[in-house]
Structure 1
Amino acid sequence: MNLTYIILPVVLPILFGALIPLFHFKKRTARQWYVMAVVLINSLVTFYILLNRPEGTFQAINLAGRLEVSFHVDGLGSVFAGLIAALWPIATLYSFEYMKHEKQENKFFTFYTMTYGITMGIAFASNLMTLYMFYEMLTLITLPLVMHSMDKKSILAGRKYIFYSIGGAAFAFIGFIFILAYGNGMDFVYGGVLNYEAIGNKDQLLRFVYVLAVLGFGVKAAIFPFHGWLPTASVAPTPVTALLHAVAVVKAGAFAIMRITYYSFGTDFLHGTWAQNVILIFALVTILYGSSRAVKEQHLKRRLAYSTVSNLSYIIFGVALMTPMGLRGGLTHMVFHAIIKITLFFCGGAILYKTKREYIYEIRGIGKKMPVVMGCFSVAALGLIGVPPLAGFISKYNLATAAASEGSFLAVAGIYVLIISALLTAIYLFSVIIRAFFPGNDFDMESVKDVEDPNWLMKLPLIVFCIAIVVFGFCSIPLVDYLTDIASGLF
């Protein structure tokens, strides 16, 4: 395959998304066909590239010496790219109906489509320079989506998002500079690129820089105490929050941490050191904090946001074990959490869309009136809790076995943290389900007489994702085997 094809999934959505404002669509359906065509074609091109993986690296721009923008398809990047390509078309279908009552749809779909391409740039980045550049672009392109409503809450959310993201990028940039100075190159190489002769006696400094870089990229992955932007961003339209919390932004942060840990600094340099322990502690604290705050939170989308804060650090925990089994667990949870959480957010969005109800105490009795939405919510909730044989159980099992195999005090402590978090997850999700299906004898069903499921544009994505949660639970072995090979550096 010609190497230039690698750049197509990056360029196509950016180019054709940017053209949307130039077209004066007379009907919404015309814009919908255009956007869906761009998204579908891009996903098909992506899967073609993944199935016919080209060897080598495509150099797009050489900025100065070792600073070049280039793209490559390796195992880790293929997981992230495949996840994006699979979820984006279905999420786009949902957004067509949800955005019907929102203003400035042209603006929304412009940035929504362009975000697809920029996220692909992160997935296919062959070096730290390219990843960092697209990582920064992701912040800028998603800011208008967070601020879409342009009311006071969304403006404040956008301001918080940009401040946190810029601060995190500054810490990540320190890691970028040190890899440039003390690495054999900027390319991502399994095992790392550090030049030990150049490092000399600066190994402790390099480990400190690694911690700073992880916390910097960890802003998008919502590591405590840098998580504050994520619950605040829940004021954005649901397609945006699902994009932020399940697919593009937060997973880009976790993906970047995987890259710098296994492909830049290298686990041989980090495993068993204080730097590893620091990241493990941050991950475990975030898991407990996010789950605890979710139990307390009464706003449905913010409760799901705090759930995301917790579950992202499941991934970071797996990465910080710094073993192939740990990376496998982190990758498994990255994939399965994305499917589960986008389902939960889309269910929450459907409730808001049809009932205008945002708080958990307001959804009493809607279970029988919205059987598809609440049924899908229940399946996704069971998956996130980790009930076998659903997908969430598989990823949590992989994380727990990886922690037991690693054997250190913090790794074993992580198993107990995962169990406590699962209990808290059951509390904050079952409380929603029980209110919806079992409102109590004193509940007046007349108050929900006009409530109903949304149309097929919103129901179909929910059903598809629910099927995926079940299928991956029963048939996870091929995927897990593939992720095992990637985590072992075979692809």
Structure 2
Amino acid sequence: MNQLLLVAPVLLPIAGGILMLMIPEKEARVHPIFTELIVLASSAMIWAVLFTGREQGNGAVLFSMAGNLKVFFRMDGMGAVFSGLVSVLWPLATLYAFEYMEGDRRGREFFAFYTMTYGVTLGIALSGNLVTLYLFYELLTLVTFPLVLHDRTKEAIRASRKYLYYSIGGAAFAFIGLVFVLIYGSTADFTLGGVLNKGVPGFDTNVILFMYVLAFFGFGVKAALFPVHSWLPSVSVAPTPVTALLHAVAVVKSGAFAILRLTYFSYGADFLKGTWAHYVVLGAVLVTIVYGSTMAVKEVHFKRRLAYSTISNLSYVLLGAVMMSAAGMAAALSHLVFHAFMKICSFFCAGAVMHQAGRNYVYELDGIGKKMPVTLACFTIAGLSLTGIPLFAGFISKWNIAQAAVGLGGIPGFLAAGVLLYSALMTGIYMMTVVVRAYFPKEGYDETALDGVKEPGWRMLTPIVIFAAVILFFGLYSRPLFHFLQQTAGGSGI
């Protein structure tokens, strides 16, 4: 396979975004077209790599640094899952952004950084070692910071600073974990089963475990792990195309993906399983699930409610990860994929309501289902799926996680299963409250307040409908995908 296909999807959007900043602001119509062409070209190259499979060989080295440190890309099973997911979601999210951001006076800047974020996220997905992943993980903070800051309001400035402080702090902890892998590992390259070499002089198990916990929480910042989560509800002030990507695709998924890489491909599940570090991270994940789902019930702001939902549901992925088993890893990957569709669909529906009706709070949504039936029908599908109702994709991934939890055995396993049940109940409450208000408003509500409200245009509605359809499809037919995820977890994927 031509190694250019591994490098170009990463560098093209980054270079295209930089070039876009040079296009005059007055050429407003050019920015969306230029963005979509770059995104589609990069996605096409990703799928070309996916279809060539094992022909990718040893990957593509971008450049080498001091010693044996190198930045290189490789397509393995994990990379195939994440890059394939991102390459499907991003073109549709970009289409949604065209209508949502229409007339925005900072459109050029928005689409420039939006495009660069795509390339950086693909860089994380295709990273062949921990050095490369960490490099692009840091770049992700830099290219998403302007997107959070976009509106330049006091709230946006405050949220962007908070996001920056948390991300930099988390990256510092992650860097410590990287250093110890470089010192006590046989290689920085991702190897299923881990790379630690206990024969290295000075190897101390408890110190290494402590470094893993630090790195777990470091990468856990972007995965919104409690107690380093509070940046996520704050960034809801950003435009909906940004928050949807932050919550569903780019940032939080990159955090969860990095933790999966760290756990299974650097430190090794066999080394970690049953240790005190294992139970520390498991406890943090369970607390996050309970906290996020409980806070979502209390939150009345529409997008912030979904933000707390993300905090809870992202830790479902981490819960699968900390099962320290092939079943747990496959379950985590299944929820990483399905949650992306569920959450981007629900955020886009919320954004459509805010864009068309100016409604920002749950108590303002009475009767909105009659004015925007397609949008609210898609939101209902996403809500039922997030709850874990059978025949929807969310049920499949949550069932897989529950099975892995029971397989863990003992008190931790049954505690994890109990937390999943509690979270499912809370999810049903905070998602269905919106649906009930939308379709069955309280008596005496002012129907005239919704005069003139209608569905968004096709550019916003098309992605929403497609995502809802995907949720239904995987709820009914997910076996081939899960089989591939099981192969990936077992080391026999692409």
TM-score normalized by the length of structure 2:
0.98
The correspondence for 2:314, drawn from 309, 312, 315, is 312
**Counterpart for residue 405 of structure 1:** 407
Give the letter aligned to residue 9 of structure 1: P
**Counterpart for residue 97 of structure 1:** 99
Cα distance in structure 1, aligned partners of 2:200 and 2:212: 16
Cα distance in structure 1, aligned partners of 2:23 and 2:271: 53
- Is 2:481 the partner of 1:479? yes
Question: 5 Å matches for 1:225-236?
Answer: 225-236=227-238
The correspondence for 2:62, drawn from 60, 66, 69, is 60
* Cα pair distance change 1:447/1:465, threshold 3 Å: same
Cα contact 2:6–2:74 (8 A) shared by 1: yes
- Is 2:294 the partner of 1:292? yes
Give the letter aligned to residue 359 of structure 1: Y
**Counterpart for residue 420 of structure 1:** 422
**Counterpart for residue 47 of structure 1:** 47
Give the letter aligned to residue 42 of structure 1: S
Give the letter aligned to residue 78 of structure 2: L
Cα distance in structure 1, aligned partners of 2:297 and 2:379: 17
Give the letter aligned to residue 164 of structure 2: I
**Counterpart for residue 254 of structure 2:** 252
Post-superposition offset of 1:441: 2.5
Question: 5 Å matches for 1:298-377?
Answer: 298-377=300-379
Post-superposition offset of 1:89: 0.3
- Is 2:209 the partner of 1:210? no
Cα distance in structure 2, aligned partners of 1:31 and 1:326: 42
**Counterpart for residue 199 of structure 2:** 197
Cα distance in structure 1, aligned partners of 2:242 and 2:203: 46
Post-superposition offset of 1:450: 1.5
Cα distance in structure 2, aligned partners of 1:159 and 1:407: 42
Post-superposition offset of 1:199: 5.8
- Is 2:38 the partner of 1:38? yes
**Counterpart for residue 144 of structure 1:** 146
Post-superposition offset of 1:371: 0.4
Cα contact 1:3–1:56 (8 A) shared by 2: no
Gaps of 5+ in 2: none
Question: 5 Å matches for 1:1-20?
Answer: 1-20=1-20
Larger CA deviation: 345-354 vs 52-61: 52-61
Cα contact 1:84–1:247 (8 A) shared by 2: yes
Give the letter aligned to residue 338 of structure 2: F
Cα contact 1:295–1:427 (8 A) shared by 2: yes
SS in 2 for 1:220: coil
Cα contact 2:28–2:108 (8 A) shared by 1: no
Cα distance in structure 2, aligned partners of 1:381 and 1:300: 13
SS in 2 for 1:61: strand
Cα contact 2:321–2:332 (8 A) shared by 1: yes
Cα distance in structure 2, aligned partners of 1:31 and 1:114: 13
**Counterpart for residue 388 of structure 1:** 390
Cα distance in structure 1, aligned partners of 2:317 and 2:417: 13
Post-superposition offset of 1:27: 5.1
Cα distance in structure 1, aligned partners of 2:262 and 2:203: 21
Post-superposition offset of 1:29: 3.5
SS in 1 for 2:21: helix
Larger CA deviation: 408-417 vs 318-327: 408-417
Cα distance in structure 2, aligned partners of 1:26 and 1:274: 58
**Counterpart for residue 271 of structure 2:** 269
**Counterpart for residue 243 of structure 1:** 245
The correspondence for 1:443, drawn from 442, 445, 466, is 445
Give the letter aligned to residue 37 of structure 1: L
**Counterpart for residue 433 of structure 1:** 435
Cα contact 1:66–1:186 (8 A) shared by 2: no
Cα distance in structure 2, aligned partners of 1:314 and 1:110: 32
Cα contact 2:31–2:107 (8 A) shared by 1: no
Post-superposition offset of 1:35: 1.2
**Counterpart for residue 22 of structure 2:** 22
Post-superposition offset of 1:57: 2.1
Give the letter aligned to residue 195 of structure 1: N
* Cα pair distance change 1:210/1:199, threshold 3 Å: farther
Give the letter aligned to residue 11 of structure 2: V
Cα contact 2:110–2:150 (8 A) shared by 1: yes
TM-score normalized by the length of structure 1:
0.99
Instruction: Tell me the percent identity.
Output: 51
Cα contact 2:330–2:485 (8 A) shared by 1: yes
Give the letter aligned to residue 260 of structure 2: M
SS in 2 for 1:368: helix
Post-superposition offset of 1:28: 3.8
Cα contact 1:385–1:426 (8 A) shared by 2: yes
Cα contact 1:111–1:145 (8 A) shared by 2: yes
- Aligned pairs, how many? 491
Render the CA deviation track for 1:52-82: whole Å, top value 9, x for unaligned: 1311121111111121111111000110000
Render the CA deviation track for 1:302-329: whole Å, top value 9, x for unaligned: 0000000000100001000000000011
Cα distance in structure 2, aligned partners of 1:66 and 1:258: 24
Cα distance in structure 2, aligned partners of 1:151 and 1:394: 41
Give the letter aligned to residue 322 of structure 2: A
Cα contact 1:365–1:437 (8 A) shared by 2: yes
SS in 1 for 2:378: helix
Cα contact 1:161–1:229 (8 A) shared by 2: yes
Render the CA deviation track for 1:362-398: whole Å, top value 9, x for unaligned: 1111110000111110011001001111000000000
**Counterpart for residue 181 of structure 2:** 179
Question: 5 Å matches for 1:75-94?
Answer: 75-94=77-96
**Counterpart for residue 114 of structure 1:** 116
Render the CA deviation track for 1:419-464: whole Å, top value 9, x for unaligned: 1000000000111111111112212211212111111111101100
Give the letter aligned to residue 343 of structure 1: C
SS in 1 for 2:65: strand
Cα contact 2:192–2:265 (8 A) shared by 1: yes
SS in 2 for 1:60: strand
**Counterpart for residue 381 of structure 2:** 379
Cα contact 2:32–2:111 (8 A) shared by 1: no
**Counterpart for residue 73 of structure 1:** 75
* Cα pair distance change 1:199/1:280, threshold 3 Å: farther
Gaps of 5+ in 1: none
